[in-house]
Chain A
Amino acid sequence: MTQGATKTSSSAPPGAAGSPISGVGQPRDRSYDVIVVGGGHNGLVCAAYLAKAGKKVLVLERRHVLGGAAVSEQVFPGFTFSVCSYVVSLFRPHIIRELGLVDHGFHVIPLDCSFLPLPDGRSLARFGDYARTRREIAQFSPRDAEVYPEFGLAMSKLARFSKHVIDHPPPEPTSLAPRELLQLLRLGRGYQALDRDVRYLNLKLLTMSAADFLDEWFESEVLKGPMSVSGIIGTMLGVRSPGTAYVLLHHYMGEIDGAFRAWGFSKGGTGAVSYAIAAAARGFGVEIVTEATVDHVRITSGRATGVVLESGNEITAKAVVSGCDPHRTYFGLIGEQHLEPELVGQLRRYKLRGSSGKVNLAVDRLPDFTCRPGPGPHLEGDIAIVPNVDYVERAYDEAKYGAFSSRPYLNVVIPSLVDPTVAPPGKHVISCFVQYAPYDLEGGPERWPRQREAFGDTVVDTLAEYCPGLKESILHRQVLTPWDLEHEFGLTEGNIFHGELSLEQLLFQRPMAGWARYRTPIRNMWMCSSGTHPGGGIMGAPGELAAKAMLKAGAA
């Protein structure tokens, strides 16, 4: 019934028009303008932009499917899993337009509800319907019910400011070059344009913990539970750890894109986003090859000249861009011997520390929640298992000392409810994002494979406490531990975002101070992954900004 690391048959998810993959194992030519290492969504975006500008581009992907962590696979016949990422949130609307992705199958179905079942039989469902949400929250606190939209507005104002930040390369505050100063000035202006109270809010957001920050607004622990967890996704921090408040903002940024409604389920799973990008890239002339692992980048006198495949084949290029995480890029593709010791030290301090896992279920019926029986719109959005703030802090406590949480925070979605293409009629796909699952298990990460089933059981048991018939309904279970994320998906230490999105690893420090503009110390070697500004998530921004930086620099 259970399977850990994935080996599957099918590649193109439903919804993707034809396969955009041009070859397996071996590219057609021996020489390109640009080689993109890794067919994650960022690598594909980067390739598409470069090809659109006329470059001859090759994408080399290690796996048999495209998408990296934005991937759809039929792990069990008839059921398409969004194996890793499961909702599209921050994908940049201008990339959709500029690459014409809608014509290639990009289709996002908005999420309307956030549902919180509670062990005591109560529950909270937050909808787009303002009055309905107010009534729902008022069960727990009439005051919070009214503060909630006010909070939303304040966060939206800040998120508008952040949008400036994520749609441009990171500023370089130590430089006095006029262009840099201008950019800082532009940011400063955006900041000044914020209301006074919103500016204060921003300072708090940058320094406080998610829980403390929410305490300033809300009184209900039940409401604060699901709200606080958006501050810790993908980090090895707790909701009471300072600095986690900032990540709350990400939740509101998706809404800012307004009419684009970028927050939702990708039809056919998140892999369909990758396939839409790949198809667009193919349309611009990109060559995409799967099952082609790059062993290392060929570096000749401090300069990247191409790549060497694991098969031993060598392909040359005027520029190489890595769509892998910083650790793999520098220690794997480039190699420590080509790097200054000081830089190696910085890289070793870059925090990856994976803290999450994923359990995907194929079930023969819809789960039935004791607190709200039957089907309904409350099941159509995301379902959070986090009854209060203490619950998730306790889950963190266990993880701190090297155990996975015995009662973890779960973020559950049932995409098959709104997208019938991913499961047979009447059957469903349940995706459970799980935190905490610390990469550094007590006794070492290599103990994970032996803990995999126990971890899967914990997740299913946790969810089954809220929907009793769950276990009997399971046809197939896929469990991904941080170890699997590392070994199967190439995410070092299993970090879902290529490095924590904590403040000291963002902007001009992502991945390292001095090398945050998609360049590396190796000439003609670039980066375009979530490990660069503005970071992780299915966003496309690192890929786009990297391509634009390369084109501007005349690379290739």
Chain B
Amino acid sequence: MPIPTPFHPRTAALCTSMFWKEWAGYHAVRSYDVSHEREYFALRNGAGVLDVSPLHKYELRGPGAADLLSRITVRDIRKLRVGRVTYLCWCNDDGKILDDGTVSRLDDQHFRLTAAEPTFAWLHRFTGPHDVTIEDSSERLAALAIQGPTSRDALARICDAPLHRLPFFGVTRARLQEVDVWISRTGYTGDLGYEIWVDREHALTVWDAIMAVGLDHRVLPLGLDALDVARIEAGFIMNGVDYWGAHHCLVPSRQSTPYELGLGWTVNLDREPFVGQAALRAERARGPAWATVGLRYDWDEYEALFARFGLPPHVPLAAWRDGVPVYGSDGRQVGRATSGAWSPLLKANLALASVRPEHAALGTRLRIEVTVEYERHQISAIVSKTPFFNPERKRSA
């Protein structure tokens, strides 16, 4: 039985489609309209406003906070500067990933961790000698993402923060309509965008302020279906879809490592001990068993396949997340595509896939399963660079 988020009074009034889903125990809008198309195009041309309150949030405070985070995540957090955010993941002793998220350094001794899954107990398990207090702020803080090319202009009109000076993955305190908020230049869309963190009692003030200027900047409320397409275009993997946290895996083959997921770049291996270090070191020496890649379907083959049935090429409207097998040129299975979407922007059929490393080089032609008229077929899919969509504005001043 999901419960409402702090923004529920507004989102519920707008969600005329009644398309909801459960996200971490909360009601979350899938799309406000029966189709998410309008929201998607608003996101890529104006901006979308997405309620991300269900994210799990933890405040770590105290002189030992940086040490604790460095000990349990793959990053050396002590090097993170105040006012900066970093993306990272954390593993168990066997170097198997548990979850991914972000850490913001709000102050010298105040960090905020976001996670897809409840992580309070995991953090506590390692407090040991560290002088740190941990607050589960998930309930206390509401979070609202505003993403898209006009997000900065819209936000700048209602808050006092110098947003053009806030770097990509920067975070700052700000006043927004007499309310204290934190604004970070982060998001899950691969676009220019921000996330606003505010005490729950002020959530509606923030929502209303944005919507008041929204019309001028083509700002629409955004649901999870449009986000799902955007995150594929951005090449972001998702916990519970593209990989599984080790605590949810009944069999070891379900587990993944950061290297297998293409998150090797987040791992600071050579430093004091941290959870999973020995296993990750061994894996780096040995090489990972899987590689996570982007795939683009070969459009000509796709079209030809549909033509054989007298059909125009049909693309799915929504992103999909029930995996399909991926084969090598010799017809043997070499992996699986775990999620994908038709990108209305790139006019390409995209997928994220996990394949054996020898098939992971850019440009490799693999075969992917496509079902037409209840028949299973295979067509070519080319290993491609991610993010598929990576606009200049995402990082620019």
CB-CB contacts of B242-285 with A at 8 A, as 1s and 0s?
A: 00000111101000000000000000000000000000000000
Q: Is A1 an interface residue (CB 8 A)?
A: no
Q: Is B1 an interface residue (CB 8 A)?
A: yes
CB-CB contacts of A148-160 with B at 8 A, as 1s and 0s?
A: 0110010011001
Q: Is A336 an interface residue (CB 8 A)?
A: no
Would A195 and B252 count as touching, CB distance under 8 A? Answer: yes
Q: Which of B103-111, B119-127, B219-227, B330-338 contacts the other chain?
A: B119-127
- Could you show 12 A-B contacts with beta carbons less than 8 Å apart? A127-B1, A129-B1, A131-B22, A131-B25, A134-B25, A135-B3, A145-B121, A146-B119, A146-B120, A147-B121, A153-B249, A153-B250
Would B121 and A142 count as touching, CB distance under 8 A? Answer: yes
Would B250 and A146 count as touching, CB distance under 8 A? Answer: no
Would B136 and A142 count as touching, CB distance under 8 A? Answer: yes
Q: Select which of B1, B118, B120 is within 8 A of A132 by beta carbon.
A: B1
Would B118 and A134 count as touching, CB distance under 8 A? Answer: yes
Would B2 and A146 count as touching, CB distance under 8 A? Answer: no
CB-CB contacts of A124-140 with B at 8 A, as 1s and 0s?
A: 00010111101100000
A147 to B120, CA, bound (A): 9
Complex: chain A residue closest to B122, CB-CB: A146
Would B247 and A149 count as touching, CB distance under 8 A? Answer: yes
Report which residue of B22, B119, B120, B122 has the largest number of chain A beta carbons within 10 angstroms of its beta carbon: B120
**Which of chain B's residues 125-146 have a Cβ closer than 8 Å to chain A?**
136
A461 to B1, CA, bound (A): 33
Complex: chain A residue closest to B25, CB-CB: A131
Complex: chain B residue closest to A133, CB-CB: B25
Which B residues touch A146, using CB under 8 A? 118-122
Would B2 and A160 count as touching, CB distance under 8 A? Answer: no
Interface size on B, residues (CB 8 A): 19
Q: Is B24 an interface residue (CB 8 A)?
A: yes
A142 to B120, CA, bound (A): 7
Complex: chain B residue closest to A197, CB-CB: B93
Q: Select which of B22, B24, B247 is within 8 A of A153 by beta carbon.
A: B247
Which A residues touch B121, using CB under 8 A? 142-147, 150
The 10 closest A-B pairs by CB, nearest first: A131-B25, A146-B121, A143-B121, A146-B118, A150-B247, A147-B121, A142-B120, A132-B1, A143-B124, A146-B120
A504 to B249, CA, bound (A): 32
Which B residues touch A145, using CB under 8 A? 118, 120-121
CB distance from A139 to the nearest CB of B (A): 12
Which A residues touch B249, using CB under 8 A? 153
Complex: chain B residue closest to A135, CB-CB: B25
Which A residues touch B124, using CB under 8 A? 143
Which B residues touch A130, using CB under 8 A? 25
Complex: chain B residue closest to A194, CB-CB: B252
Would B250 and A132 count as touching, CB distance under 8 A? Answer: no
**Which of chain B's residues 1-41 have a Cβ closer than 8 Å to chain A?**
1-3, 22, 24-26
CB distance from B136 to the nearest CB of A (A): 6
Would B250 and A157 count as touching, CB distance under 8 A? Answer: yes
Q: A149-B247, A160-B250 are in contact. Are A143 and B24 (CB under 8 A)?
A: no
CB distance from A460 to the nearest CB of B (A): 32
CB distance from A246 to the nearest CB of B (A): 21
Which B residues touch A142, using CB under 8 A? 120-121, 136
CB distance from A121 to the nearest CB of B (A): 21
Which B residues touch A149, using CB under 8 A? 247-248
Which A residues touch B26, using CB under 8 A? 131
Chain B interfacial positions (CB closer than 8 Å to A):
1-3, 22, 24-26, 118-122, 124, 136, 247-250, 252
Complex: chain A residue closest to B124, CB-CB: A143
Beyond A131-B25, A143-B121, A146-B119, 13 additional contacts (C-beta under 8 Å) are A131-B22, A131-B24, A132-B1, A132-B2, A134-B25, A134-B118, A142-B136, A146-B120, A147-B121, A150-B247, A153-B248, A153-B250, A160-B250
Would A143 and B25 count as touching, CB distance under 8 A? Answer: no
Would A131 and B122 count as touching, CB distance under 8 A? Answer: no
Complex: chain B residue closest to A148, CB-CB: B121
CB distance from A414 to the nearest CB of B (A): 20
CB distance from B62 to the nearest CB of A (A): 18
**Which of chain A's residues 91-138 have a Cβ closer than 8 Å to chain B?**
127, 129-132, 134-135
A142 to B247, CA, bound (A): 17
Which B residues touch A132, using CB under 8 A? 1-2, 25
A74 to B107, CA, bound (A): 70
CB distance from A508 to the nearest CB of B (A): 28
A160 to B251, CA, bound (A): 11
A52 to B31, CA, bound (A): 56
A153 to B246, CA, bound (A): 10
Would B250 and A156 count as touching, CB distance under 8 A? Answer: yes
A160 to B136, CA, bound (A): 34
A147 to B121, CA, bound (A): 7
A153 to B255, CA, bound (A): 14
Q: Select which of A131, A143, A153, A195 is within 8 A of B120 by beta carbon.
A: A143
Which A residues touch B118, using CB under 8 A? 134, 145-146
A129 to B1, CA, bound (A): 7
Which B residues touch A129, using CB under 8 A? 1, 25
A142 to B122, CA, bound (A): 11
A407 to B20, CA, bound (A): 46
Which B residues touch A127, using CB under 8 A? 1
A142 to B135, CA, bound (A): 11
Complex: chain A residue closest to B248, CB-CB: A153
Complex: chain B residue closest to A127, CB-CB: B1
Which B residues touch A195, using CB under 8 A? 252
**Which of chain A's residues 348-397 have a Cβ closer than 8 Å to chain B?**
none
A130 to B247, CA, bound (A): 14
CB distance from A503 to the nearest CB of B (A): 25
Which A residues touch B1, using CB under 8 A? 127, 129, 132
Which A residues touch B252, using CB under 8 A? 195
CB distance from B157 to the nearest CB of A (A): 36
Complex: chain A residue closest to B249, CB-CB: A153
A157 to B248, CA, bound (A): 11
CB distance from B257 to the nearest CB of A (A): 15
Complex: chain B residue closest to A145, CB-CB: B118
Report which residue of A146, A149, A157, A195 has the largest number of chain B beta carbons within 10 angstroms of its beta carbon: A146
A145 to B136, CA, bound (A): 12
A144 to B249, CA, bound (A): 19
A131 to B250, CA, bound (A): 19
Report which residue of B3, B25, B118 has the largest number of chain A beta carbons within 10 angstroms of its beta carbon: B118
Complex: chain B residue closest to A150, CB-CB: B247
A160 to B252, CA, bound (A): 14
A150 to B1, CA, bound (A): 21
CB distance from A229 to the nearest CB of B (A): 23
CB distance from A293 to the nearest CB of B (A): 48
CB distance from B216 to the nearest CB of A (A): 38
A129 to B249, CA, bound (A): 18
Q: A153-B247, A156-B250, A160-B250 are in contact. Are A131 and B119 (CB under 8 A)?
A: no
A150 to B99, CA, bound (A): 14
Complex: chain A residue closest to B54, CB-CB: A131
Which B residues touch A134, using CB under 8 A? 25, 118
A523 to B136, CA, bound (A): 67
CB distance from A350 to the nearest CB of B (A): 36
Complex: chain B residue closest to A147, CB-CB: B121
A156 to B251, CA, bound (A): 11
CB distance from B281 to the nearest CB of A (A): 18
Complex: chain A residue closest to B26, CB-CB: A131
CB-CB contacts of A206-230 with B at 8 A, as 1s and 0s?
A: 0000000000000000000000000
A385 to B201, CA, bound (A): 38
A201 to B25, CA, bound (A): 30
Q: Select which of B2, B136, B247, B248 is within 8 A of A131 by beta carbon.
A: B2
A135 to B2, CA, bound (A): 10
